[in-house]
């Protein structure tokens, strides 16, 4: 299966600031692809480039194996950076323009407005909308006409927790229906809950990309605490099976290999005369990996 989107060595600078450097990756069909990075890493620049809003200095990209860019965009629902609509038009009429440009979806407007919870306000002018409503309308416009691909830049921006949960559910549902979804976000726990693939950017460089399982590894973390933290730390240095020890907040974070479990650690410590006051197994999270990779 050819990838939905293929990016080759894209570089983009804003004057002296190198926003993207040699970024390449493929987005397979039907995945939920998360583009992660700290603020300023180039996520929005990357999405802007593949939507022809920004011009890269080098590199190329192709949608659907080489379709003409504007035709491809008619089948992609996108939300880039901020909701952009005509402030004097109602939600309903703004969607009319979206539908006409895409040559598809004029009849879909009511369904989409229901889906994002804006049906009651469909005739209100866009300038009267709150931030959350504007965001919902933007998501609605992206969903208009049931596109094959969604490109969402920080879709939960401005939404309350209920809204964030709704977006999560929406993405899950659409993923099941076979859509390809590309999300840029810095909300790692949200990404972790829905994404099948990730690409991590830092200062314009692609640090890694691939399926979430591969990127995360199966390195579990164990948290331990004892009265004498330094003693505990020294003791654990000698325990085989402990790959890494990190001290944070008076707690030791241990990275263990697959064969070591909490019972063994407990036994080891007792054997050294140390009684643990706290022992917790934590599945490695994307956040930890992310912090490691981006060096924060």
Partner 1 sequence: MNALLGIEWLKIKRYRTFWVLAGLFILLLPLWNYEVENGFIRLGGGKDGINFLNSAYSFPQVWSNLGFWGSIFITFISILVIILTTNEYTYRTNRQNVIDGWSRMQFFHSKVLLVVVLSFLATLYLFVMGMLFGGVNSGSLNSLFSEFEKVGYFFLLSLDYLGFALIIAILIKKSGLAIGLFLLYSMIIENILKSVINHNLDKPYGNLLPLQASDELLPFPLLQMAKGMIPMGATLSMTTYAWMAIAWCILYYFAGRLILSKNDW
User: Among all chains, which residue has been given the structure tokens 């692609």?
Assistant: 206
Q: Which is nearer to partner 1, 71 or 261 (CB)?
A: 71
Options 8, 11, 26, 96; binder of partner 1; rule CB under 8 A: 96
CA–CA dist 241, 62 (Å, integer): 46
Contact between 84 and partner 1 per CB under 8 A? yes
State the minimum distance, in angstroms, from the CB of residue 134 to partner 1: 11
Q: Which is nearer to partner 1, 69 or 208 (CB)?
A: 69
Please report, as residue ranges, which positions from 6 to 65 form the binding site for partner 1 (by CB under 8 A): 48, 51-55
Please report, as residue ranges, which positions from 97 to 116 form the binding site for partner 1 (by CB under 8 A): 97-98, 100-103
Q: Which is nearer to partner 1, 42 or 209 (CB)?
A: 42
- Write out the two tokens for 18: 């190198």
CA 277 to each of CA 57, 224, 231, 245, 260: distance values in angstroms, whole numbers, following the listed order:
56, 7, 13, 17, 19
State the minimum distance, in angstroms, from the CB of residue 75 to partner 1: 8
CA atoms within 13 A on the CB side of 165: 3
Number of Cβ within 10 Å of residue 136's Cβ equals 26
Q: Which one of the spans 77-85, 189-197, 227-235, 284-292 is the region binding partner 1 (CB under 8 A)?
A: 77-85
Q: Which is nearer to partner 1, 19 or 31 (CB)?
A: 19
Please report, as residue ranges, which positions from 205 to 264 form the binding site for partner 1 (by CB under 8 A): none
Q: Which one of the spans 23-31, 81-89, 163-171, 233-241 is the region binding partner 1 (CB under 8 A)?
A: 81-89
User: In this structure, what DSSP letter does residue 95 have?
Assistant: H
- Write out the two tokens for 127: 């300038």
State the minimum distance, in angstroms, from the CB of residue 89 to partner 1: 6
Contact between 187 and partner 1 per CB under 8 A? no
Q: Which is nearer to partner 1, 70 or 189 (CB)?
A: 70
CA–CA dist 282, 131 (Å, integer): 36
> How many helices (H) and strands (E) in the chain?
11, 13
State the minimum distance, in angstroms, from the CB of residue 26 to partner 1: 22
Contact between 74 and partner 1 per CB under 8 A? yes
State the minimum distance, in angstroms, from the CB of residue 158 to partner 1: 16
CA–CA dist 193, 98 (Å, integer): 30
Q: Give the residue ranges of DSSP H helices in the chain.
A: 43-50, 69-74, 91-102, 109-115, 131-143, 161-176, 188-194, 212-216, 229-237, 262-271, 286-294
Map residues 125-154 to x or -, x wherever contact with partner 1 holds by CB under 8 A: ----------------x-------------
From the list 4, 7, 47, the residue with the least C-alpha distance to 196 is 4
- Interface ranges with partner 1 (CB under 8 A): 48, 51-55, 69-71, 73-74, 78, 80, 82, 84-89, 93, 96-98, 100-103, 141
């Amino acid at each position: 299966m050819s990838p939905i989107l293929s990016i080759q060595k894209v570089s983009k600078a804003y004057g002296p600031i190198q926003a993207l450097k040699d970024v390449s990756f493929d987005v397979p069909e039907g995945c939920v692809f998360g583009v992660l990075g700290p603020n300023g890493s180039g996520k929005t620049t990357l999405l802007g480039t593949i939507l022809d809003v920004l011009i890269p200095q080098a590199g190329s990209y192709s949608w659907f194996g080489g379709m003409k860019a504007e035709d491809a965009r008619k089948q992609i629902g996108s939300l880039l950076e901020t909701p952009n609509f005509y402030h004097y038009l109602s939600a309903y009429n703004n969607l009319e323009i979206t539908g006409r440009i895409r040559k598809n979806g004029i009849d879909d407007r009511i369904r989409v407005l229901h889906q994002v919870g804006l049906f009651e306000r469909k005739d209100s002018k866009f300038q009267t909308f709150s931030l959350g409503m504007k965001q919902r309308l933007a998501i609605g416009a992206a969903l208009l006409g049931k596109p094959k691909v969604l490109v969402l830049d920080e879709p939960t921006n401005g939404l309350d927790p209920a809204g964030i949960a709704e977006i999560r559910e929406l993405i899950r549902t659409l993923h099941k229906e076979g859509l390809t979804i590309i999300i840029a976000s810095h909300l790692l726990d949200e990404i972790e809950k829905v994404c099948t693939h990730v690409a991590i950017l830092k200062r314009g460089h692609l640090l890694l990309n691939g399926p979430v399982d591969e990127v995360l590894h199966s390195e579990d973390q164990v948290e331990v605490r004892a009265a004498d933290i330094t003693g505990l730390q020294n003791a654990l240095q000698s325990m085989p099976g402990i790959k890494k020890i990190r001290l944070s907040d008076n707690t030791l974070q241990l990275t263990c290999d697959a064969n070591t479990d909490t019972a063994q650690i407990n036994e080891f410590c007792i054997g050294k005369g140390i009684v643990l006051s706290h022992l917790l197994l934590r599945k490695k999270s994307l956040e930890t990996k992310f912090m490691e990779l981006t060096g924060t």
